[in-house]
Structure 1
Amino acid sequence: MSSNEPEAAEYQRKDMSQAPESPLGQQAAIEGALAAKGQPPNDEPRIWTLRDMKAMKNRSRLEATTALKTLYVQMLAEIENSEAERRAAVIAAGGDPDEDRDPLEFVHAIADEWAASDADAERRAELLDNLADRLDTREVRALRLAAEAAKAITPRLIAYDAAHGVSPAQIAEDLGVTESYVYRMLRQYTRYAWRLDLWNSEQGPGWQPHKSGEEFVERVRVSEGDVAAKVISEGGESLKRHRHRVLVWEGEQRADELAYFTHENSPATAGQDPEETNDNFGNEK
């Protein structure tokens, strides 16, 4: 082979199963790697946090035997040593070395870097390259489904926080959305608290609480009567033996007389829809 021809890169698989995950250990490794390259840590280089090491655990990657690979191996060794020391110290003190670990640490790392690279095309490209190298299709599927679930429960969390005194401005800041979006969700969705009572049941004489819960619903599609109907339909065998009633409040459960909606059934009408019976239907006081 001519001396002017480029040499083919050599590849070998690297065992990532021992890559530690401690943020402190990762930070120490980052600083060591930067120092080896002659770059002080305070320069705040544009690199992705090593919290994404989680995605690399127990996986193998092909890496060229270059100077960069040597630096990378040294960095992993420093991470391993730092993490081993941390775990040993926690165990020696009688603690659990994994107890304080954030289960969503890797997700937070992706989200933080995605937000930080919003106006930086080069940094965003580096992030995407990093993710493409570290995630497989099953992991991406899990993230995509998790994102859909997060989107679906967002209105519910907004309504819950608002009912517990959190301001729309704070909710918007926490979620990373606009205040107008928060107000729109509060107009569109509501939360009903409900309680199912039985008359002279195993719980005691007179009206006694049997079950309670809450329903988060879209205002234009679900009424308080719909909530009562659902509670009764899922009430179980006890409703066939006892007179029963459902109380519904908008928001938090409060005093009985403040219930926004009340429906009462006898065992003879237990299988009917609340809006098809005449037993004390609606707003009983």
Structure 2
Amino acid sequence: MADHTPDRLGATRTSSAAPSARLMLQVIDAFDQYARERRAATVGAGDGADDGDDPLRHVRWIADNYESRCGDPEHLQAHLEQLANELGLHDVWALRVAGEAVVAATPVVILRAAQRGMRAPAIAEAIGLAPARVYDVLSRYVRYTWRVDVQDAPDQWWPIDEGEQVAERRFVTESDVAHRATRIGAAKADGRSLRVLVWQGPQSDDADASYTHTVNTTR
């Protein structure tokens, strides 16, 4: 399988205000939800779980057949001709753009898997990449999560927004994430003070935040 780990993905995720970044988050969340539901169905039904409801079944069929025939030009050509007979122009567009979205989401998927305790070789095997490419993502990229709180009373904070950002370590710091989150939260602050907390990795206790920033927005 070709190595599809992106070299330009940090820029795609670094601006959550961009429509493409918001779309990516929706794609990632949809895949996460799908994975959770599929795992639950598999556990409930045992190893013989029915794949009839798998929304990616046809995509998997395309991928499996393509990969298994890459070393056999004759059978590969037959598979491609079958695809050409089945797919219309809009189908090709949808699959191509969906593939680009998945490529763009790859660092997020890798980082989340690693943060759940999965080791790089296992991630590489599951995702179809060389282990070196997974290690490269883990060394270059970082997943920040953030939360914006407003102050309703002294020492009383209430969350109003949260999100995440995956970017290259050398280009984006916790303070950059906090600054962007402050702009997002300011529109909802209604003149109240803001507190932004940033974590490297998933959200945890407030005391474990790697960066905290408080802004007085009183007008």
Show CA shifts across 1:53-94 (max 9, x none). Answer: xxxxxxxxxxxxxxxxxxxxxxxxxxxxxxxxxxxxxxxxxx
219, 226, 248: which is aligned to 2:176?
A: 226
Gaps of 5+ in 2: 1-49
1:189-200 correspondence runs (5 A): 189-200=141-152
Aligned equivalent of 1:180: 132
1:267 matched to 2:217:
yes
1:121 matched to 2:73:
yes
Q: Which has the higher contact order (CA 8 A, sep 6+)?
A: 2
CA 1:262–1:205: 2 relative to 1, 3 Å: closer
Higher relative helix content: 2
Aligned equivalent of 2:22: none
C-alpha separation between the residues in 1 aligned to 2:166 and 2:209? Answer: 17
1:20-31 correspondence runs (5 A): none
Alpha-carbon distance, 1:210 to partner:
2.8
Which consecutive aligned stretches of 4+ in structure 1 deviate over 6 angstroms post-superposition?
none
1:16-165 correspondence runs (5 A): 100-165=52-117
C-alpha separation between the residues in 2 aligned to 1:170 and 1:158? Answer: 11
Any conservation in 1 of the 2:165–2:177 contact (CA below 8 Å)? yes
Counterpart of 1:105, as a letter, is: R
Alpha-carbon distance, 1:234 to partner:
1.0
More displaced, 225-234 or 205-214?
Answer: 205-214
C-alpha separation between the residues in 1 aligned to 2:137 and 2:196? Answer: 27
What is the aligned length?
A: 170
**TM-score by structure 2 length?**
0.71
145, 151, 156: which is aligned to 1:206?
A: 156
Gaps of 5+ in 1: 1-97, 271-285
Show CA shifts across 1:234-260 (max 9, x none). Answer: 114442421121111101222222211
- RMSD of aligned alpha carbons: 2.1
Identity %: 37
CA 1:264–1:205: 2 relative to 1, 3 Å: closer
Aligned equivalent of 1:281: none
C-alpha separation between the residues in 2 aligned to 1:116 and 1:209? Answer: 49
Structure ID, larger Rg: 1
Alpha-carbon distance, 1:266 to partner:
0.7
Show CA shifts across 1:146-169 (max 9, x none). Answer: 111111111110011111111111
Please state whether the residue corresponding to 2:129 is helix, strand or coil. coil
Please state whether the residue corresponding to 1:230 is helix, strand or coil. helix
Aligned equivalent of 2:38: none
1:250 matched to 2:215:
no
Please state whether the residue corresponding to 2:189 is helix, strand or coil. helix
Alpha-carbon distance, 1:264 to partner:
0.8
